[in-house]
Structure 1
């Protein structure tokens, strides 16, 4: 069993389950405010950040594939291999400290036609820190990914998808736009990797934004160490479903440019 942060009872949909799966407990000293009104659903995220992106209205047969928390030498290479095998490209919302620790993987991501984007520098939960820290995390995260992808700082994904009106205002003030997701691969892993890939892949529609994870380890003030091997195992079934439906996996930046973000 994985530990999760104590919170009031809520009815969990797939989106919130994805936010909760396999996350370690955070030191209360780091987030002294304690549990708040976590934005664990698309509706709650839109309420506090209407400028954020959950999916895109488009006529193109595209879905955005996105991977969080890397790069991680245990999983990122295998994720890249699977994407290459199926001719798909993706956006990697990378943790700045991981980019600095594994520059070879960041370089490989870009060299193989994928895009980087900002997932903060230390994977802090932005709704639980002051706005000076939010700004610092976004700026340092942007600098790390921009060293490999010059336009990578345009988009950011708050860790866990947790945000607030204050976080959204700081994000916009820095000229950034938050990207969330419409479906999450890890939310279906309860039935096994193959079934998860089939289930999520069968439900995809053009304009969807898929969340998965290529990173499990983050060191620093908010450490985590999560086994992502089942995500890697689920990818072939997901990508096969995608191909069978005539859909193409692309970076979220390209999907946004080809339609109307929602």
Structure 2
């Protein structure tokens, strides 16, 4: 009887099967939070992750900046309306434009972390994820003059490694309750407004973009710029105050004091 079909072979096959199950289980745990990228499950099962806050408040957030072409225009619009927001910045963009990132903070806005690069974090092992987030955290903290409180993964796809790394850095992970689909080539000011308004409620968190990332259509930020005034008017008429996540009533991560 050969070793392949004898007791030794069976033992090796059992060991290989156990190892395969362990690898598959680890991968499933790593990827499990990604299911919450879907708005429906997120709102039902993880309202804090979705960014559901005070009923009289709406959190306005922008991803993917800073960008020297588009971000200053958004800052001027918000200043004219007397509104502050949360800007989830990409660490590599902060490294390229540190003064612009500092100007966002100086204007009274809240800086948060959107990763070191705009890449899907599920692709990376936990150690690399932790390194990327630590580097992005430090870049944003330097620009803001204070450690960031919030993290949002690129594409809204969260892994267990990213969630744990953000938590260790004192950041709460927050996605959104409504978005504008403002990165598409077909986006217009009215379409962005309608898409946001469809799911907007008091206590909601709005996801928009102040720049066109590598995954967005060129000049798509112009649709966002056109939509923001009408979104702000909607919130005003509904009696909702608009501001950053820091004013939204979300709890801090365990171990972090304000």
Q: TM-score, normalised by structure 1?
A: 0.72
The offset of 1:42, in angstroms, is: 3.2
- The aligned residue for residue 194 of structure 1 is 190
1:207 aligns with 2:200: no
Unmatched 5+ stretches in structure 2: 1-30, 253-258
The offset of 1:198, in angstroms, is: 4.7
Return the structure number with greater relative CO, CA threshold 8 A, min gap 6. 1
Paired positions, count: 218
C-alpha contact 2:54 2:203 (8 A) present in aligned 1:
yes
C-alpha contact 1:71 1:95 (8 A) present in aligned 2:
yes
Specify which of 220, 224, 238 is matched with residue 231 of structure 1.
224
**Distance verdict in 2 for CA 1:188–1:137, change over 3 Å:** closer
Aligned counterparts of 1:156 and 1:55: Cα–Cα separation in 2: 11
Matches within 5 A, 1:1-262: 38-39=34-35, 40-42=37-39, 53-59=49-55, 61-186=56-181, 192-198=188-194, 200-201=196-197, 203-217=199-213, 226-227=218-219, 228-257=221-250
Aligned counterparts of 2:183 and 2:230: Cα–Cα separation in 1: 12
Deviations 1:156-185 (A, max 9, x none): 100011112333233323332211000002
Aligned counterparts of 1:244 and 1:199: Cα–Cα separation in 2: 18
Select the structure of larger CA radius of gyration. 2
The offset of 1:45, in angstroms, is: 5.3
Deviations 1:124-149 (A, max 9, x none): 21112111111011101111110122
**Distance verdict in 2 for CA 1:191–1:71, change over 3 Å:** closer
Aligned counterparts of 2:181 and 2:103: Cα–Cα separation in 1: 24
- RMSD of Structure 2 on Structure 1 (CA): 3.0
Secondary structure, counterpart of 2:128 in structure 1 = helix
**Distance verdict in 2 for CA 1:184–1:141, change over 3 Å:** same
Deviations 1:107-129 (A, max 9, x none): 22111111100111112211121
